[in-house]
Structure 1
Amino acid sequence: MPFTLAAPCEYQEIIRKSRFLTHAIPVETPEQAQAFIRDISEPGANHNCWAWKIGDLYRFSDDGEPGGTAGRPMLTAIESQDCDRVVVVTTRWFGGIELGTGGLARAYGGSAAKCLQGGTRLPLVARIQCRCHCHFSELPLLKSRLPALEALLESEHFDGLGATLELALPEEQLAELQRLLSDITRGRSQLQIAR
């Protein structure tokens, strides 16, 4: 099961007098990942190398290090830690001793892996999109029960009678939500799965 981070984390290491400072955060979109990279990068450092992975999308950068020695090993660390929806940035201040291509790959990949290992991880649960309609009097009770079903309220659209709720929840909770919805609405409202 893939994981993401519950909160930002960081890791620092000195390798042959070079300082490596790694930051990692959870992200939902490539735009969030790129914004974090811009915000956390240190202009005074020699290199700000990074990698991110969101589902099937990924990008990485060596930021001036020899090709394939920073960004790719960092992406490999993300994948080997079974992480998704994360961005990792490693900032390097050169200490005067060359590490060689193998040393750089180990330093960047290792720093990224250690940073992710030190963070609090959350399992990524595949969710199914669905919708339902409830009268105003039924909404508070239904909404209060959603957290117990691990259901996320993504949006609600109000009309003259109540609201249509757009939900995302784990597949194994669908039957329980349908039963709850039927009980609350006395069978009037049915859960519709978004295709």
Structure 2
Amino acid sequence: MTHTLAAPATAEVEVRHSRFLALVAPVADREEALAVVARLRAEHPAAAHVCWALLAGGHSGMSDDGEPSGTAGRPILEVLRHHDLDGVLGAVVRYFGGVKLGAGGLVRAYTDAIAAAVAGAEKVERVRETELRVEADYADAERVRRWAEGEGYAEPEAEYGESVLLTLRVPEAAREAAVAAIADLSNGRVRFATPE
């Protein structure tokens, strides 16, 4: 069972005068993760390195950001994997303290920093979602919107024209039940469009 995080969490580790500021944050994809990394760079312009790793479904990646290859991004990624996390960015900002740590020391420092942030984070079960596109007249679209609200789903995205095209995000396991419920509440008038 994979998990994500309820909210971002941070931790700080000091190793031989170098400060390692760790952040773990829930993210939807690589684009959102890179925006967080860019924000960290802007917030810490004097930092020597901003290393990161991402696990978000098909959007994974890592960066050593100038540290020796395999000493920063890979350890961060391995901690995220060890905790069965998905939809999560792990990033560590390093302020160099003047003492070189060596490859083994760097691996331990980055591992310890990100592990401390993960330990302080609230984990929640990651529910895989799927997109459901519904074409309906205006009255049925409002019924679908109220149904989605009653089920606790996010507000559907809507495109208005002669009819309304609603895009809902529902758990994969609930897709068939959602299709049946929406068809029933509209007396079969809605059409389900395939995602583009």
Shorter-chain TM-score above 0.5: yes
Q: Is the 8 A contact 1:77 1:110 kept in 2?
A: no
Structure 2 partner of 1:180: 181
Structure 2 partner of 1:12: 12
Structure 1 partner of 2:75: 73
Matches of 2:78 and 2:2, distance apart in 1:
14
CA gap of 1:138–1:56, structure 2 versus 1, over 3 A, is: closer
Shift of 1:134: 2.8
Q: Is the 8 A contact 2:128 2:171 kept in 1?
A: yes
CA gap of 1:177–1:104, structure 2 versus 1, over 3 A, is: same
Q: Is the 8 A contact 1:153 1:165 kept in 2?
A: no
Shift of 1:77: 1.1
Give 2:38's aligned amino acid. R
Structure 1 partner of 2:120: 118
% identical aligned pairs: 32
Structure 2 partner of 1:28: 28
Q: Is the 8 A contact 1:2 1:123 kept in 2?
A: yes
Shift of 1:158: 2.1
CA gap of 1:10–1:126, structure 2 versus 1, over 3 A, is: same
Shift of 1:193: 5.5
Q: What per-residue deviation string (whole Å, max 9, x for no partner) do you get for residues 97-131 of structure 1? A: 44332221011012112212322333322223322
CA root-mean-square deviation: 2.5
Give 1:189's aligned amino acid. V
Q: What per-residue deviation string (whole Å, max 9, x for no partner) do you get for residues 20-50 of structure 1? A: 1112222223222222212212221222222
Shift of 1:147: 4.2
CA gap of 1:166–1:98, structure 2 versus 1, over 3 A, is: same
Q: Which runs of 5+ in 1 are unaligned?
A: none
SS at match of 1:183: helix
Matches of 2:178 and 2:69, distance apart in 1:
51
